[in-house]
Amino acid sequence: MDKRPILLIEDNESDIELTRRAFRKINIVNRLIVVEDGQDALDYLWGNAMHRGRDTSELPALILLDLKLPGISGLEVLRRIRADPRTRRIAIVILTSSKEEQDLAASYDLGVNSYIRKPVDFEQFIAAAEHIGLYWLVLNEPPPEIRRTTG
């Protein structure tokens, strides 16, 4: 099992707590890092602002990304992550309540690995989290790490 952290980019406190509860229930032991807006997510990944000094060589095993975020949208966060060679290979799962076909199409156009609509029911959410964890953290073979280049 991949032990690197999971980055949850979500601004809804209820959904954050639901994700934590679901992961605890199915014994996902990866550290869950929560950021509540797009700018903070990008700052975390690249070690800027309040995340300055963070070891940016430790990339998340998985990013769970909501689309409807304050400030920088989830789609823009996805675009920026995929545009940077340091982060373009991180597995990203859109976890959203959006039913907009244009969001679905744009997410795949920008390189998302998976798009999941959030189940409203807790038991269904737990089942979805179990599948996400099993697939992305256990079964999936991640790509080789991208070496950081300086200069």
44 neighbors 54 (Cβ within 8 angstroms) = yes
**For 117-143, how does the pLDDT look when each residue is reduced to its tens digit (9 = 90+)?**
988 788 888 888 888 888 888 888 888
pLDDT at residue number 123: 86
Q: Which residues pair with 32 in a beta bridge?
A: 6
pTM (predicted TM-score): 0.91
Domain residue spans of the chain = 6-139
**For 86-120, how does the pLDDT look when each residue is reduced to its tens digit (9 = 90+)?**
999 999 999 998 889 999 999 999 999 999 998 87
Mean pLDDT of 8-18: 93
CATH architecture of 6-139: 3-Layer(aba) Sandwich (3.40)
Average pLDDT over the chain, rounded to whole? Answer: 90
Greater pLDDT, 3 or 41: 41
